[in-house]
Structure 1
Amino acid sequence: MPKRSLRQQMLARRLALSQDDWRYASMLAQKNLLSLEEYEQAECIALYAPARNETDTAEVVAAAFRAGKRVLYPAVCGEHMVFRQVEGLASLEQGCFGILEPCPTGVDHHADEADLIVVPGVAFDPSGHRIGYGKGFYDRFLRHPGRKAHLVGLCHDFQLIDGHIPAEGHDIRMEIIVSDRRIVRCGSNRSHLDGPDQQTGG
């Protein structure tokens, strides 16, 4: 299925979620993410503020603050995206596209500073390919040559398709996909030599 059609189909399905279903699926997906060794070992994590029924991250950020981790959130600046450190969700304000972002007075951080980056998406496949909103912000940000972070795609389970998403040369693949039902290890987020390795989540 072409990317555009798959994007439209997945967005419609996600927007159709009831608040109860969204909340429950988000809780399970976040539980799975918090169980990752990569999360446990990370000292600095990058998250996102959910929009349009994206999987919530509130439990993850709360756990990260309790554990003393540094937490970064994205902000769109023109054609590019940066991350800024936050000390609490109250410091987020409505930014580009109506999504909550850190205030513009914060210090910009680059992709080489995080140990784990949680990436939203419209759809994912078991090889780690991702469909975003078509703006390319994450792909450009994640191309930083010094990036060492584990890349984790967080989604509702229906967003993890059985087939393969058409990939382009500039696309950045995820290392791990986490949903409310599964944890899928896709291999290295650079070469993917290991191939997909599925694990059952809680």
Structure 2
Amino acid sequence: MPKHHLRRAMLEQRRRLSDPERALLGLHAQKMCLELPAFVAAGVIALYAPVHNEVETSLLLTTALAAGKRVLFPVVAEKGLEFRRVSTPAALCPGKFGIKEPTAECDLYQPNDIEFFLVPGVAFDLSCRRVGYGKGYYDKALHELEGQGRMAGFCYDFQVVEAIPAAPHDVQMDMVITDRRVISFPGQFT
């Protein structure tokens, strides 16, 4: 299935989730993430602020902050994504595209500083390939982290398909975390 058809179908399926379904599935996915040794061990993590019925990350944020982790969120900047540290959920304000992001006063970090990176997507496959919204923000920002065992796609289980056609610019995740399972790219996570 071409990416644009897959993107449209997955966004529609996600849109149809009721609030209780979204909350329950999101809670299951966050609990799966919290149990991962890679998440537990990481001192610097990157999350995202969900939009369009993406999997919620608020439990991960509060748990990480309580554990003393440095938590980063992406900011859509002129040259692409930047990653800034938040010390409280109140540090997130609506930014470009209406997505909550840290303010300019928050400390700036480089992608290489991130030890565990949770990446949203519209669809993922069993080889941990990702389809995003089509703007390429994450692909451009994350190529240097590819294959280092730091990037985890985060989605509902229905967003995982058998295979996605990959282009050279597409960044492959090291794992995909859903509300039902963790799919690891061979050799990346244990």
Give the TM interval when normalised to the shorter protein.
over 0.9
Equivalent runs, 1:12-27 vs 2, <5 Å: 12-27=12-27
C-alpha distance in 1 between matches for 2:146 and 2:156:
30
Residue 39, structure 1, aligned to residue 39, structure 2: yes
**Mapped pair 1:53 → 2:53:** yes
Q: What corresponds to 1:174 in structure 2? A: 173
| Contact kept? 2:116, 2:152, Cα under 8 Å | yes
- Equivalent residues in 2 for 1:65-84 (5 A)? 65-84=65-84
User: What letter corresponds to residue 35 of structure 1 in structure 2?
Assistant: E
Gaps of 5+ in 2: none
* Distance (Å, rounded) in 2 between the aligned partners of 1:146 and 1:30: 23
* Deviates most, 14-23 or 73-82: 73-82
Deviation per residue, 1:128-153 (Å, 9 max, x gap): 10000001111111123799561111
What's the TM-score, normalizing by structure 2? 0.95
The aligned counterpart of 1:5 is: 5
Question: Per-residue deviation at 1:188?
Answer: 4.8
Q: Distance in 2 between matches of 1:104 and 1:38?
A: 29
C-alpha distance in 1, partners of 2:91/2:53? Answer: 21
The alpha-carbon distance between structure 1 residues 55 and 145, as it changes in their structure 2 partners (threshold 3 A), is closer
2:4 maps to amino acid: R
Q: How much has 1:107 moved relative to structure 2?
A: 2.9
Distance 1:95 1:188, change over 3 A: farther
CA distance in 2, matches of 1:16, 1:84: 32
TM-score, normalisation: structure 1? 0.89
Displacement after TM superposition at 1:66 (Å)? 1.1
Instruction: Quote the residue 1:123 is aligned against.
Output: 123
Which residue type is aligned with residue 90 of structure 1? A
The structural deviation recorded for 1:59 is 0.5
User: Cα RMSD over matched residues?
Assistant: 1.8
1:187 match: secondary structure: coil
